[in-house]
A and B are shown apart, each in its own frame.
Chain A
Amino acid sequence: MKILVMVKQVPDTATQVKVASDPRAIDTTGITWIVSPYDEFALEEALRIKEKRGQGEVVAVSLGPDRVKETLRSCLAMGADRAIHLLDPAWETADTLMTARALAAVIKQETPALALFGRQAIDDDMGSVGAQVAELLGWPCASWIMEEAVDEAGKAVRVGRQVEGGLEVFDLPLPAVVSAQKGLNEPRYPTLKGIMGAKKKEVRDVKAADLGISPEPPALSVTKLEALPPRPPGRIIPGEPADAVKELVRSLREDAKAI
């Protein structure tokens, strides 16, 4: 069974993020890049499916500039068999739809049984690409999955989808798109052997023309990034707990009108 896992390179949460001189972009100087955490759940799940079945291939796919190679190497170190790097200046302004079109085209070429995504990337938090790929391919899609089991014949997958108030368990015929929610698994750390082995694995560059697509202008564009307006300074309420609590309750009621 072949599984494609779509991953995105994002700034580490703890990294300082500043707006660049181009107000539509962030200043990438000094940023530590990581694999978006939800994508790690997706990759871990793909590796587990392969290990459980005793055969198969896991391919990591990412769209982005040169530095994305590093992210793909991390995926190979975790255990992916090979990687595909969608690398083309034409994708520099990619919105979710343009990204989804590129990924859908790769998936069509690779014909996997399962396309796994993280439920959202933690940089722009759009959480749209997986479902958009499913729509473009006409595949079924389950988002925010907490459980997954591919049947023995490799024809269907049973997933538990998180919804408000519960978990809905569905059977999806393969091929299908699923997106991983936290709780699906605990991603492994790459081993030293994995890291060494990753260097020998294939990372293939793919351009828009290789996929037979000509990128269209984005349907959604960022016009400006701005720093968060500062919150008004807060107040530490001093005093003995009983007095402080009385004052806090009074403030919440009378000043903040929050209760």
Chain B
Amino acid sequence: MAGAFWCIVEDDREGNPKKVMAEVLGEASRLAAQMGAQAEAVWLTDKAAPEGIKLLGELGAKRIWLCEDPAFVPYRGEAWTAVVAELAGKESPQAILGPVTTRQRELMARLAARLGAGLAADSTALALEDGKLVATRPVYAGKLLSKVTWARVPWLATLRPNVFRPAEPQAGASAQVERPTVSIPSAMMKLVERKEEASTGLPELAEAEIVVSGGRGLKGPENFVILEDLAKVIGAAVGASRAAVDAGWRPHRFQIGQTGRTISPKLYMGFGISGAIQHLAGMRTSKVICAVNKDPEAPIFKIADYGIVGDLFEVAPLLATEFKKLLEK
């Protein structure tokens, strides 16, 4: 349907949409409704699970453009871009939205170049003003907010996870499934291998609703176990400051900040983190910020909603115990 708000599906590689798709579809539906249009999903995968298709419908997708082919796994920019661009050329969507993930950041950029369209990457708010989309994006290490707008359609944007209100699944709502014929160019890139990260059993940093993070105050890699114990109690992901990563205490994929991940959880808890600007750049859009630091002058207390001036080695285990009591109630 022309004028639709498309959502590019990010899946778990087992045929089910990731949790973040509720946020993208929720936002797409809200915006589309204001323009008398509908939200639709575009899903490139090797195999979609029936329950995955059902979930997209319940989350508000009125139609699913489902392209199933082994060539879509692993993600390769040249193949995906050509297919989404071909579909967009035929169907003329009003907007193409997706979550911020490593591959969608690349895909959307390529797609924007192919379509000659604008892309607002890592947006934290979208709004229609006089019938035109305006995106809000944090810039300059999160010190400023930039409002951007598009010269023409389609409007392309990637959405920061955990910022947009997720759609509530509507039981019984279902999407019309289209299986369009598309031409898939042969990929130039060849997969050699995929190295899986050892699973921590904790949520992924970018998507986690609660993040517990440690810095130099932890004094050594062996002490991260204190934070992991706390994280397990409250279902949090564990992150680290640049200081902790540069010291070799945690792999880089756990780094929060300007040269790491940008996160926006419901609750962020920093332990032994001073709060350098470059760290704040990666977490200042968190909804509730909580800090534990020995130094009452630590800059992180300036942006924290709650702070405890104290020894993290004492406070973190106490927190784990208290949370456990609370959650067992």
Contact = CB atoms under 8 A, between A and B. Distances in A.
Contact of A248 (B117, B144, B290): B290
Contacts, number: 263
Contacts of B229: none
Contacts of A217: 151
Given A26-B144, A127-B121, A258 B113 contact: no
A140 B314 contact: no
B41 to A, nearest CB: 19
Contacts of B141: 13, 17, 122
A27 B213 CA distance: 34
- Residue among A132, A135, A143 with the highest chain B CB neighbour number at 10 A: A135
A252 B109 contact: no
Interface stretch (B22-30, B74-82, B162-170): B74-82
Contact of B304 (A158, A167, A234): A234
Nearest to A130: B109
A183 B78 CA distance: 25
A244 B197 CA distance: 37
A237 B309 CA distance: 8
Interface residues of A, number: 83
B189 A26 contact: no
A209 interface: no
Please classify how large the interface on chain B is, using the bins under 10, 10 to 19, 20 to 34, 35 or more.
35 or more
Nearest to B81: A135
A13 B281 contact: yes
A177 to B, nearest CB: 9
Contact of B322 (A132, A234, A249): A249
Contacts of B195: 160, 166-169
Contact of B102 (A129, A162, A182, A236): A162
A123 B139 contact: yes
Given A220-B148, A220-B151, A168 B191 contact: yes
Contact of B145 (A14, A126, A225): A225
Interface stretch (B32-40, B58-66, B217-225, B255-263): B255-263
Nearest to A216: B116
Given A128-B119, A165-B197, A245 B308 contact: yes
A251 interface: yes
B99 to A, nearest CB: 10
Chain B's interface: helix, strand, loop or mixed, by majority? mixed
Interface of A is mostly: mixed
A170 B304 CA distance: 42
A128 B111 CA distance: 10
Contacts of A227: 143-145
A143 B303 CA distance: 33
Nearest to B317: A245
A146 to B, nearest CB: 8
A167 B194 contact: yes
Interface string A118-141: 000011111111111111100111
Given A13-B277, A17-B144, 14 more contacts: A13-B278, A128-B108, A128-B119, A140-B76, A172-B189, A183-B252, A219-B116, A220-B118, A220-B120, A221-B148, A226-B144, A226-B147, A234-B306, A253-B326
13 contacts: A14-B277, A17-B144, A26-B140, A125-B137, A141-B110, A144-B102, A161-B102, A168-B194, A221-B151, A225-B145, A234-B289, A234-B302, A248-B290
Interface of B: 74-78, 81, 101-103, 105-114, 116-122, 134, 137-152, 188-197, 204, 206, 210, 234, 251-253, 255, 258-260, 262, 266-267, 277-278, 281, 284, 287-290, 296, 301-311, 314-315, 318-319, 322-323, 326
Interface of A: 11, 13-14, 17, 19, 26, 37-38, 95-97, 100, 122-136, 139-144, 146, 158, 160-173, 181-183, 217-228, 231-232, 234-237, 241-242, 244-246, 248-249, 251-253, 256, 258-259
The 9 A-B pairs of least Cβ separation, nearest first, read: A220-B118, A219-B118, A128-B109, A131-B109, A132-B113, A135-B113, A258-B267, A140-B188, A183-B252
